[in-house]
Amino acid sequence: MRRAALILTPYLWLLALFLVPFIIVLKISLSDTALAIPPYTPTLDFGAGWQGIKDFVGALDFENFTFLTTDDLYWKAYLSSVRIALIATTLTLLVGYPIAYGMARAPEHWRATLMLLVILPFWTSFLIRVYSWMGILSGEGYLNQFLLWIGLISEPLTILNTPVAVYIGIVYTYLPFMILPVYAALERMDGSLLEAAEDLGCSRLTAFWLITIPLSKNGIIAGCFLVFIPTIGEFVIPSLLGGSQTLMIGKVLWEEFFNNRDWPVASAVAVILLLILIIPIILFQRNEQKQREADG
């Protein structure tokens, strides 16, 4: 019974928080738009039993999904989201890896404090942190005031409502998700391997490239997936920091749901986004499984 309970618990969790919501969204995506509350006419009636399912299958159409192919906005938003997520993940890795490496190489009595400093931003509301960046990056914000004060620029820079602001917001927000798995991989690394490589004639840079990077590969992969997957569907950061110049599918999804009130099309957008995200999720799970088998 204990084994069955342990096995069933994650499946029940996925059923309640993934499969059931996905079925609801899929049902709405196959419905028709209507001026009502809610703003759609269901084509699938579970209350009618098998007859309702038969009627639904007979009248099944993918009109809302077909509509997404007729408007350039949607596929451009998907491509833009993937591009922004890839660039932001790369930038987060470039910033996070040195921090994780420094934490792993720090004296052991300092590591808990450094870990606390990495996790500390989570104690503040995500929305408040994004709003604070609006004050920092605006034309009269603290960043421009500081650059003007030191004489590095002669007039304020336009950073807010640009893709640069979006990258800054994403890197800042998701940096802990990159640092923690990379730090976990580096912290377990045997330091004697580096000493042996240097004794055999390798420079520190060569030993770092040939030993440290390969041994921290699993942490890098995990961190990249943890940043890339949520970044694709991000809508708060591009809405507040990117303005109208930034096109991401999460922002389009929000506008379809709450501005246009077109729930069927918005649900179709969400279903395709989920199907796109399934690919990196499966790859991430396979990587985690291989890592557990290797550790075992």
Amino acid code (one letter) for 161: N
Q: Which DSSP letter does residue 211 get?
A: I
User: Tens of pLDDT along 222-264?
Assistant: 899 899 999 998 989 999 998 877 889 988 988 888 888 888 8
Given a cut of 50, the residues of the chain with pLDDT beneath it are none
SS3 32: strand
Is CATH 1.10.3720.10 the classification given to domain 73-261? yes
Question: 233 and 280 in contact (C-beta within 8 Å)?
Answer: no
260-282 pLDDT tens trace: 888 889 999 999 998 888 888 78
pLDDT for the residue 59: 62
d(CA 257, CA 72): 19
User: pTM, whole model, 2 decimals?
Assistant: 0.85
